[in-house]
């Protein structure tokens, strides 16, 4: 059994954004997907990314950061399928910390706290900022089979909702856990409400 595995979900189509958002630069100039990957791999060097088939520019950039890249030939089926592929590609892990590639402002310390909770026996773990649960989300080994069976676009949200007694919530001062980028206006989080 290997250590905690990081999984970056990077196979979305970016339709609401209007273009390939993961290669779009943030205000500081780094591309969104690469910033997300950099923060994840800073805390979890053992990280893989699930991408769309043929996304060679993104794949090369992620591999340059040390991530293993897995292509999801069924990316159109949604986030659940991408998560299932990531779990399947790392089935011997002790647990998984799952991050979204359109959430580039999550601090590595937050990722590390989620991974540590799993290492200490948590079955599910997630950070909380000002009373709101965010990302990344940690899953202990016992969820592997159920995660590999996921379909559709809802990811593993139903597991968290169905097992609140097993979810360890980790208070944080990291607002990045709530900041995802769906539209171009989301690139400037200080100018809009969180979420």
* Within-domain flag for 190: no
* Within-domain flag for 78: yes
Is the backbone peptide bond immediately before 89 cis, with ω within 30 degrees of 0? no
Domain span holding position 101: 2-185
* Within-domain flag for 194: no
pLDDT at 185: 60
Statement: residue 192 has pLDDT above 90: no
* Within-domain flag for 51: yes
Mean pLDDT estimate for the chain: 87
- CATH code of the domain in which 60 resides: 3.90.550.10
- How far apart are alpha carbons 67 and 73 in whole angstroms? 19
% the chain with pLDDT above 90: 65
- Number of separate domains in the chain: 1
- In this predicted structure, which of 119-128, 136-145, 182-191 has the lowest mean pLDDT? 182-191
pLDDT at 195: 42
* Within-domain flag for 158: yes
Tell me: the pLDDT tens digits for 39-98?
A: 999 999 999 999 989 889 999 999 999 999 999 887 777 788 899 999 999 999 999 999
Does the pTM surpass 0.95? The reply is no
Buried residues in 170-190 as b, exposed as e (16+ CB within 10 A): bebebbbbbbbbeeeebbebe
* Within-domain flag for 192: no
* Within-domain flag for 34: yes
Buried residues in 4-36 as b, exposed as e (16+ CB within 10 A): bbbbbbbbbebeebeebbbebebeeeebbbbbb
Region of residue 86 (left: phi > 0; alpha: psi -120 to 50; beta: else):
alpha
- What does the pLDDT average to over 122-151? 94
* Within-domain flag for 195: no
Statement: residue 13 has pLDDT above 60: no
DSSP 25-72: BPTTSSBHHHHHHHHHHHH-SSEEEEE-TT-HHHHHHHHHTT-EEEE-
- How far apart are alpha carbons 140 and 97 in whole angstroms? 9
Furthest-apart CA atoms within the chain: distance in Å: 45
């Amino acid at each position: 059994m290997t250590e905690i595995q990081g999984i970056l979900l990077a196979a979305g189509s970016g339709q609401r954004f209007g273009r390939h958002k993961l290669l779009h630069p943030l205000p500081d100039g780094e591309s969104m997907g690469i910033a997300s990957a950099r923060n994840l791999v800073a805390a979890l060097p053992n990280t893989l990314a699930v991408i769309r088939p043929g996304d060679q520019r993104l794949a090369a950039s992620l591999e340059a950061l040390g991530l293993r890249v897995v292509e999801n030939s069924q990316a159109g089926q949604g986030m659940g399928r991408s998560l299932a592929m990531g779990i399947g590609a790392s089935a011997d892990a002790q647990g998984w910390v799952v991050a979204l590639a359109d959430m580039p402002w999550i601090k590595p310390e937050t990722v590390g706290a989620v991974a540590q909770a799993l290492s200490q026996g948590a079955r599910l773990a997630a950070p909380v900022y000002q009373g709101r649960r965010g990302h990344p989300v940690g899953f202990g080994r016992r969820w592997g089979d159920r995660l590999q069976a996921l379909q559709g676009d809802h990811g593993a949200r139903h597991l968290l909702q169905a097992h609140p007694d097993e979810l360890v919530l980790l208070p944080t001062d990291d607002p990045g856990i709530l900041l995802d980028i769906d539209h171009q206006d989301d690139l400037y989080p200080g100018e809009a409400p969180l979420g």
